[in-house]
């Protein structure tokens, strides 16, 4: 019998942690948005797998290292233990079309709104024996490119008003999420789990 799972794909900056206006490269710059930890814990208790999907072109731009990005994700995991919860994976895209680099050009199809990171997570789950049911899975983010990525990947989508809050831009570009929430907590408690 195949094991079907449902997944919450979460953008990072502006969705889980506060968008500081500049690149988040250190633990000091990484602060959870209010109630984000509680929200992730609730989603996990309800049976969702949690996967972070984040563009980290700071690597291509030379303003962050792979080590720094991976340390932030370790730090996120540490913070989530305070809420007795965890995430299943973090996928980041290091590349940027304006900053080509032979080390990360192979990742270019991963940069949101491309769906490469979602597809890779789905493939990794499959390798572990789990089939992602995309129709009961969600993508949550604060930008148009998050909504577009989720739509392209066949997921249900939520835009949050934290971070960049591109609600107006979504309407202008007719890239319409299934739901718009004030923050991650409201997205999860007021829509996904309701
Ligand atoms: Mg964001």
Query: What is the residue-wise DSSP string for 76-125?
Result: HHHHHHTTT---SEEEEE---TTS--TTTGGGGGGSTTS-HHHHHHHHHH
pTM: 0.95
At residue 62, what are phi and psi to the nearest 5 degrees? Answer: 80, 15
pLDDT in tens, 95-138: 888 887 766 556 567 999 999 999 999 999 999 999 999 999 99
Q: Where are the domains of the chain?
A: 3-192
Collapsing DSSP to helix, strand or coil, 3 comes out as strand
- pLDDT beyond 70 at 173: yes
Fold category of 3-192 in CATH: Rossmann fold (3.40.50)
pLDDT in tens, 15-62: 999 998 888 999 999 999 999 999 999 999 999 999 999 999 888 888
For residue 11, the CA-to-ligand 1 centroid distance in Å is 6
Ligand 1 is a single-atom ion; what residues have CB below 5 A from it? 11, 13-14, 142, 163
Distance CA 61, CA 42 (A): 36
| 31 is an annotated ligand-binding site residue | no
Return the active site residues: 11, 13
């Amino acid at each position: 019998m195949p094991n079907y799972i449902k997944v919450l794909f979460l953008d990072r900056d502006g969705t889980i942690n506060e968008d500081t206006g500049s690149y988040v490269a250190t633990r000091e710059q990484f602060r959870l948005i209010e109630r984000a930890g509680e929200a992730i814990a609730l989603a996990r208790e309800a049976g969702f797998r949690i996967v972070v999907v984040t563009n980290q072109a700071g690597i291509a731009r030379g303003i962050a290292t792979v080590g720094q990005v991976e340390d932030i994700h370790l730090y996120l995991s540490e913070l989530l233990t305070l809420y007795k919860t965890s995430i299943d994976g973090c996928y980041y895209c290091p590349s940027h079309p304006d900053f080509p680099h032979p080390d990360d050009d192979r990742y270019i199809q991963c940069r949101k709104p491309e769906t490469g990171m979602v597809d890779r997570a789905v493939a990794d789950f499959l390798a572990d024996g789990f089939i992602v049911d995309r129709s009961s899975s969600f993508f949550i983010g604060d930008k148009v490119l998050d909504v577009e990525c989720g739509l392209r990947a066949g997921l249900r989508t939520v835009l949050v008003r934290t971070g960049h809050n591109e609600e107006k831009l979504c309407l202008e570009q007719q890239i319409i999420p299934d739901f718009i929430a004030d923050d991650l907590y409201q997205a999860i408690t007021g829509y996904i789990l309701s």
